[in-house]
Chains A and B, each alone.
Chain A
Amino acid sequence: MKEHIVTTYDEDLNSLKSNLTKMGLNVEKQIFQAVDLIKIINISKAKEVIENDKGIDALEKKIRGFATITLSKRQPLADDLRQIIISLKISSILERIGDHASNVAGRILSVKKAPDSYSTDSVHQLGLLVLKNFSTALSSYDQESKEIAQSVPTEDITINSVYETCFREHLHLMMEDRDIIGFCTQMLFIAKELERIGDLSKVISKEVIYNLQGTLK
């Protein structure tokens, strides 16, 4: 990538990117911990995830302020303009993904403990797939790679089908054992939060492609 004649312009764009990447990594950590909570329920860790969401919200505000100042200072065009537009869009998506991770932790707080008869690992498996696809979407932004970005929607199809399977499996579990209906319902809500993170990862990858190609597909 060629450098701008005005070096502070490059510094502004680099700073925007590093802040967004930092926000992305924080969100990734939140998803990781939320998914881990599904396997091993831990109340204090769940509270931590909820508390950490505030930091993510603050980063979104910081990026928004910075992007606004850069727009007014530089009046960017073409790829520079797109880079700023997608940083606004992606930071807002990351903030929402952060909310979903925090919601997962909130559900964990309300279930407290898994019933002994609850034997499946499918929601946790769904979480691992979602986490991996989010990381892929984030790398496509960091590395500005169209190839990596293009793999995200394909993987999301798998995620959606795992989500469907998960849903049906829990319906069966609830029909078989009425005592775990409450727990299974919470797990289904968690699965839905994860599925939403999957969709939003796909939106991030589309923004990355828009930035590189200049047109929305």
Chain B
Amino acid sequence: MTEKIKIKSKNVNVYYGQKKALDKINLEIPTNKVTALIGPSGCGKSTFLRCINRMNDTIDICRIEGKIIVDEEDIYSTEVDPVLLRAKIGMVFQKPNPFPKSIFDNVAYGPKIHGIVNSNDELEELVIYSLKKAGLFGEVKDRLNDTGTSLSGGQQQRLCIARAIAISPQIILMDEPCSALDPIATAIIEELIDELAKNFTIVIVTHSMQQAARVSQQTAFFHMGSLIEVGRTDQIFSTPSQKKTQDYITGKIG
């Protein structure tokens, strides 16, 4: 691939205590494209996702070796402030987790604490922009003061995406963002992912092969802590080069 690379992992090893969770991961993630990470539970795909915004730092027994380079900068170097890093890299989780605050405040919280806006007008503009970008504004415009938790599951997930977008990140990490949603809410989020990929680099962990095939341009298959295969999504799902990948995506006994 000749695209511009946004994230580059070099020989990344991750240990939880004595247990090695990731083994020499070398993966390049292209700018403004969707990369799907697939693999069975416990294969290390979520661990890898969490390395990208240093979320594993919060786990005491977790140790990381190797380099993760975002825009030519090693994010594990001592000069990098993880808080600022996370402002650049938004994350959406499996279960929607809005703050117990109003819809407006859910989105406004990030820009406020990061000092992104200078006035209330600017803040309001940014909240509306983010809600629009997440495809939620039309549904909530008359009830911005209601609590975020009063929304449906699919709407809550879009609220979390709006919250992630509000701090104008460059990368959005998604850890099974649709696994708690019904098919309609899933379709809305998938449509949104297509739209977001125009401006953001997206890395998504998913257990749905069909979802990975639909939303991503690059797919990486993890198995038992190793990166088995990475390639163009259409190639991975039609003619994977590794037997392990083929067995996994077709649901055969491995």
Which residues of A pack against B, CB within 8 Å? 2-6, 9, 75-82, 214-215
Residues of A within 8 A of B94 (CB): none
Which residues of B pack against A, CB within 8 Å? 209-210, 213, 237-240, 246-247, 249-254
Residues of A within 8 A of B252 (CB): 2-5
Judge whether A78 and B251 touch: CB under 8 Å.
no
Q: A214-B239, A215-B239 are known contacts. Are A78 and B210 too (CB-CB below 8 A)? A: no
Residues of B within 8 A of A77 (CB): 209, 213, 237-238, 249-250
A73 shortest CB reach to chain B, Å: 12
Interface of A is mostly: loop
Residues of B within 8 A of A78 (CB): 237-240, 246, 249-250
Judge whether B238 and A80 touch: CB under 8 Å.
no
Residues of B within 8 A of A82 (CB): 238
Q: A77-B209, A78-B246 are known contacts. Are A2 and B253 too (CB-CB below 8 A)? A: yes
Residues of A within 8 A of B238 (CB): 77-78, 81-82, 214
Bound complex: CA A4 to CA B253 (Å): 6
Residues of B within 8 A of A214 (CB): 238-239
Bound complex: CA A3 to CA B246 (Å): 12
Q: Which of A3, A75, A81 contacts B253 (CB 8 A)?
A: A3
Nearest B residue to A6 by beta-carbon distance? B251
Q: A77-B209, A77-B213 are known contacts. Are A2 and B239 too (CB-CB below 8 A)? A: no
B3 shortest CB reach to chain A, Å: 24
Residues of A within 8 A of B247 (CB): 2
Judge whether A75 and B250 touch: CB under 8 Å.
no
Judge whether B253 and A5 touch: CB under 8 Å.
yes
Bound complex: CA A77 to CA B251 (Å): 9
